[in-house]
């Protein structure tokens, strides 16, 4: 059965304190791994797509990486506006499967 597990569930950082979010997955025939950001009361906002092990994508303070078993979302020198829930999702043969998310809080 396809599964996605995100850790930690919640993460509190000080402004400027870099860290990483983890997404472990078990799927047969990965056709894409996606990272989304969700702010309270809003829909998920697309961040990155990764297709194969070794691939990396960057956007501002965020960098996503992919191995055969997991993906990391690295946050460098975060700011309070980076506070949100970050969702990982994978697609294999069927529908997109989401993890339960990591809620990031960045304080100044």
Partner 1 sequence: DTAVSQTPKYLVTQMGNDKSIKCEQNLGHDTMYWYKQDSKKFLKIMFSYNNKELIINETVPNRFSPKSPDKAHLNLHINSLELGDSAVYFCASSHADRTTKSYEQYFGPGTRLTVT
Binding region for partner 1 (CB under 8 A) = 31-32, 34, 36, 38, 41-46, 49, 51, 85, 87, 91, 94-98, 100-101
Return the number of the residue (57 or 79) whose C-beta is nearest partner 1. 57
Return the number of the residue (29 or 108) whose C-beta is nearest partner 1. 29
Q: What is the DSSP string of 48-105?
A: EEE-STT-EEEETTEEEEE-SSEEEEEE-S--GGG-EEEEEEEESSSS-EE---EEEE
Least distance CB 99 / partner 1 (angstroms):
9
Alpha-carbon distance of 82 to 5, in angstroms, equals 21
Return the number of the residue (18 or 26) whose C-beta is nearest partner 1. 26
Alpha-carbon distance of 99 to 5, in angstroms, equals 5
- For residue 60, the Cα-to-chain-centroid distance in whole angstroms is 15
Return the number of the residue (14 or 42) whose C-beta is nearest partner 1. 42
Tokens of 66: 């992919």
Least distance CB 51 / partner 1 (angstroms):
6
Alpha-carbon distance of 102 to 92, in angstroms, equals 22
Least distance CB 96 / partner 1 (angstroms):
6
Least distance CB 67 / partner 1 (angstroms):
19
């Amino acid at each position: 059965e396809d599964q996605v597990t995100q850790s930690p569930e919640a993460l509190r950082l000080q402004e400027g304190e870099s860290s990483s979010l983890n997404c472990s997955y078990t799927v047969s025939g990965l056709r894409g791994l996606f990272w989304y950001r969700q702010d309270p009361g809003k829909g998920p906002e697309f961040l990155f797509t990764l297709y194969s092990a070794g691939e990396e994508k960057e956007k501002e303070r965020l960098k996503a990486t992919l191995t055969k078993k997991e993906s990391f979302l690295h946050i460098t020198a975060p700011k309070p506006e980076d506070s949100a829930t970050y969702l990982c999702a994978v697609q294999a043969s069927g529908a997109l499967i989401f993890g339960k998310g990591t809620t990031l809080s960045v304080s100044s």
